[in-house]
Structure 1
């Protein structure tokens, strides 16, 4: 695990590995090698891992599980450009293979900034640790895991793909989009294709538009070095939201194998285009200082490490359309932002109104459109909004909701996304990992939007921290006679 001292490793990856071990899903001989620029001994690294596990693991800490993991924990100090460090890494892996019986099966997790991908891949190749075939002559495998973002535009994504494919076989490359590991995202497929109730209305004849939202109630925290220059659109829309769009809009696959799922998602992404008028079909903004959550929070330009003239957006909203028979004329609105009133991710399908209502206007005051909402986080579930009569002698109809929540419907708790994805890497099971064709198709959708924003003279529009975004974002939907739903 490269970058093992970073936030992602401490808060997500290391606890996920422990939770897998605690659930009996890792072999007894599993080994974990940390690589970072710290002058640590293996014992010190083990203490760091234990602290991360105790603070962030979902399952209770058990000493017997920890002692088993501890036998396979090693640490290699050094810089990514150090040949000596990689020689030490290769020697450490050989020693682990012998001591733990791992048989030369190695997965390299690149939890490092995107600018460090090139040197890491080069070093793995140079020191004989990469693998150009899914399995070596002795049956061992070598895999690489890459965290998003996959490039910062189409050209850089294609260059990254050339680097990766020079070092590893395509079947051995796992691009992590942790949203695809969430239980509710996968349930979208079951929800659509296991229920005759919904699939007949999943098209332009019944659906007016689709809203996909990922809202965060936090700012950038200590991620200024990463976030500035990346922005909300690259950080979230290019990967998470366009993957959710693809899963929502795809045709039924012949099976849930990796090849079939990817083929259907890719068809949707290749048929997706941004608005023809980007001035009317996009919006961007930066959060400004305001009272939010009971405290006065800084604006984006006042955050530590952010230049005072930064034009990086923390709010991004775009309209896209899908040019195929199922979705022709149905706009998809994608938005993401920091410092919004609450943390929520959802996909909302807003249905067309009934063609005729045999009621007076006073009967249906406040009645909205039917909506089917799939909540990805934090309260995973599905909600259906519909009209029902108010108990009274007169006819009065109001919106009500039917709500399914994972937390109350199943005895089993949903696994954390990184648990599922790390296990799939070790098993070599690829359905939940986007291939480079999907990544490049997503950049072809987003690049025109980013180029347009880059050409604008004015900075991003401000919006108060703790609000639901910019005026231009609301006007984008209002021009189409619609409005954002409030999650």
Structure 2
């Protein structure tokens, strides 16, 4: 009997490393991140058979839930996934436990230590523990001190701690937090998580560049004229007004997500594929990066805030009308800026970064625009030939596309742009994993490649210090412009590129 031919692109799929015996402890288990991202990601790892039988998840929060109540609440949160995989959920949920913990109460932390010893015996996890801080940033330092105080971070080989962004509010606070956390655990135990780095296309930038000889020789200032990095959301602030009012788009998105995308795009080839070699190169990029005009930062940055939009049948609230938002708020929901990286590869190449809420389309992408041909030999269908572009789509349709000129059909010699496209879903026959799936597996395996190191975090905060100081001390110099919801942001952001005779790419 003939067998179906194997899709060559599927060779090697799901040959994943399996996590060793492990107990994952989630602080803030009653919060949004746990039921919306963490438990679904762990359930996916379980279904992929990447978790061992000696595995447990201990949820911790101040609410007085029992193990069974925690399991019921997680089942309700994952209702659709549970219905699709009822038997697997029953097996998975047997590994869910709960312990009421207030990290500010020493007696609670001691009780936690005792409960973990019980789980070690019950599930044979051998003291391998990963502590995930899904709590408000103001509790990071206290949580680390509390865990270290009872010896729960004392074993560098078996104990790890995961810290969500934002890691600090500015350069000084990031330095202080690093000092505190590093006094409680070794740097090798600390995993500062940024879920963007778990996305396939972000990782694919490394493969695209360093596994293909056609790209790396032209990945520099000699061939690339500018790079745009965009992360656009159609949603508003939702239920995060309390956090967002104190953070804004600059702290919430640019300092971490977009800056990491910039670092991976601009980094030098590492000597070998090793976590520290990769993180060394990323850190060098951030240390060489700077705002296009540090002395007058208001000239290279635009802030915006979404106003009312939609229509009579489907109105959209403006940011200042959102529940929990100050009606006179000057918090930015949109930010765009121009940066440079002063090194041999990128000298003089502008990097344009933008992010915003309530924009026209949900998309995250890196766009490399190549320099024009030195001589235009052919007439172009649009009047002038377009520049070649390589677009790396991070979300929602992960993949890449390359735009180049070809001859238009007919007897003349006119050129027109066309696109070649690669899609993860279509090529591999299955969607790529959510970022948290990859990252949770990596942290439990002790692989720090996709996590930010202390010097990276500090360099990123230092990069935006002139803007943060300006917003704090002289906000009138960097005003917040209003833009209608479901548009592409304030007109002033277009002017930022118009100075260089460029346009934002419209996905």
Q: Could you tell me the TM-score, scaled by structure 1's length? A: 0.95
Which one of 258, 272, 277 corresponds to residue 275 of structure 2?
Answer: 258
SS at 1:93 equivalent:
helix
Q: Distance in 2 between matches of 1:457 and 1:209?
A: 29
Could you give the per-residue CA deviations for residues 55-74 of structure 1, whole angstroms, max 9, x where no partner exists? 468x94241x3333333322
Shift of 1:478: 0.4
**Residue equivalent to 2:93:** 70
Q: Is the 8 A contact 1:275 1:319 kept in 2?
A: yes
**Residue equivalent to 2:187:** 170
**Structure 1 runs of 4+ off > 4 angstroms?**
none
SS at 1:431 equivalent:
coil
Q: Distance in 1 between matches of 2:264 and 2:311?
A: 34
Q: Distance in 2 between matches of 1:469 and 1:87?
A: 50
Which one of 133, 138, 151 corresponds to residue 110 of structure 1?
Answer: 133
Shift of 1:263: 0.9
Which 10-residue stretch deviates more, 288-297 or 372-381? 288-297
1:428 aligns with 2:446: yes
**Residue equivalent to 1:273:** 290
1:437 aligns with 2:460: no
SS at 2:437 equivalent:
helix
Q: Distance in 2 between matches of 1:71 and 1:280?
A: 57
Which one of 434, 439, 457 corresponds to residue 476 of structure 2?
Answer: 457
Q: Is the 8 A contact 2:424 2:430 kept in 1?
A: no
Which one of 349, 353, 357 corresponds to residue 330 of structure 1?
Answer: 349
Shift in CA distance, 255/294, structure 1 to aligned 2, threshold 3 Å: farther
Q: Is the 8 A contact 1:293 1:466 kept in 2?
A: no
**Structure 1: any 5+ residue segments left out of the alignment?**
136-140
Q: Could you tell me the TM-score, scaled by structure 2's length? A: 0.91
**Residue equivalent to 2:252:** 235
Which one of 260, 266, 276 corresponds to residue 249 of structure 1?
Answer: 266
Residues paired across the two proteins, number: 478
Q: Is the 8 A contact 1:30 1:69 kept in 2?
A: no
Q: Is the 8 A contact 1:283 1:317 kept in 2?
A: yes
Shift of 1:80: 2.5
Q: Distance in 2 between matches of 1:34 and 1:457?
A: 45
1:417 aligns with 2:435: yes
**Residue equivalent to 1:88:** 111
**Residue equivalent to 1:138:** none
Shift in CA distance, 449/188, structure 1 to aligned 2, threshold 3 Å: same
Matching of residues 90-239 of structure 1 within 5 Å = 90-131=113-154, 133-135=155-157, 141-239=158-256
SS at 1:386 equivalent:
strand
SS at 1:230 equivalent:
helix
Q: Is the 8 A contact 1:15 1:52 kept in 2?
A: no
Which 10-residue stretch deviates more, 225-234 or 291-300? 291-300
Q: Is the 8 A contact 1:225 1:305 kept in 2?
A: yes
Q: Distance in 1 between matches of 2:113 and 2:389?
A: 55
Q: Distance in 2 between matches of 1:5 and 1:55?
A: 19
Q: Is the 8 A contact 1:81 1:123 kept in 2?
A: yes
**Residue equivalent to 2:102:** 79
Which 10-residue stretch deviates more, 213-222 or 114-123? 114-123
Which one of 341, 344, 361 corresponds to residue 363 of structure 2?
Answer: 344
Q: Distance in 1 between matches of 2:81 and 2:315?
A: 28
